[in-house]
Amino acid sequence: MPVGAASIAQVHRAVTTEGRTVAVKVLRPGIEEEFARALETYEWAAAHVELLGGEAERLRPRLVIAHFRQWTRRELDLQREAASASELRDNMVAEPGFHVPEIDWRRTARRVMTLEWLDGIKLSDRERLIEAGHDPKALAGILVRAFLRQAVIDGYFHADLHQGNLFALPDGRIAAIDFGIMGRIDRRARMWLAEILYGLITGNYDRVAEIHFEAQYVPSHHNVDEFATALRAVGEPIRGLPVKEISVGRMLDGLFSITRDFDMPTQPHLLLLQKTMVMEEGVATALDPDINMWETAEPFLKEWLRSELGPEAYYADRIIDTVRAFKLIPDLIRRIDAAYPPAGAAPPPPPLAEIEIVETRPRWARP
Ligand SMILES: Nc1ncnc2c1ncn2[C@@H]1O[C@H](COP(=O)(O)OP(=O)(O)O)[C@@H](O)[C@H]1O
Ligand SMILES: [Mg+2]
Torsion angle in degrees (nearest 10) through CA of 243, 337, 183, 213:
80
CA distance 10 to 24: 8
Question: pLDDT by residue (tens digit) across 224-280?
Answer: 999 999 989 888 877 666 656 767 777 777 877 887 888 876 555 666 777 888 888
Whether residue 120 contacts residue 30, with contact meaning beta carbons closer than 8 Å, is answered with no
Digit-coded pLDDT (tens) for 118-141: 999 999 999 999 999 999 999 999
Q: Looking at residue 120, what is its pLDDT? A: 97
pTM above 0.75, yes or no: no
Boundaries of every domain in the chain: 187-365
CA atoms within 13 A on the CB side of 73: 6
Helix (H, G, I), strand (E, B) or coil at 247: coil
pLDDT (tens digit per residue) in 193-207:
656 666 666 677 887
Atom of ligand 1 nearest to the CA of 8: 22
Give the model's pLDDT for residue 305: 55
Give the number of residues written for the chain: 367
pLDDT digits (tens, 9 = 90+) for 325-363: 444 445 554 554 454 444 443 334 444 443 444 545 555
What was the pLDDT predicted at 33? 83
Between 40-49, 184-193, 203-212, 218-227, the lowest mean confidence (pLDDT) is in: 184-193
H helices of the chain, in order, are 31-51, 54-58, 61-75, 78-91, 126-131, 136-148, 187-202, 205-214, 224-239, 248-261, 268-287, 293-309, 313-319, 329-339
Q: Say whether pLDDT at 45 is over 70.
A: yes
CA 353 – ligand 1 centroid, Å: 32
Cα-to-chain-centroid distance, residue 72 = 19
Residue of the nearest CA to atom 4 in ligand 1?
118
- Nearest-5° angle of CA 176, CA 181, CA 187? 95
Q: Is the CB of residue 9 below 6 angstroms from any atom belonging to ligand 1?
A: yes
Ligand 1 atom closest to Cα of 22?
Answer: 1
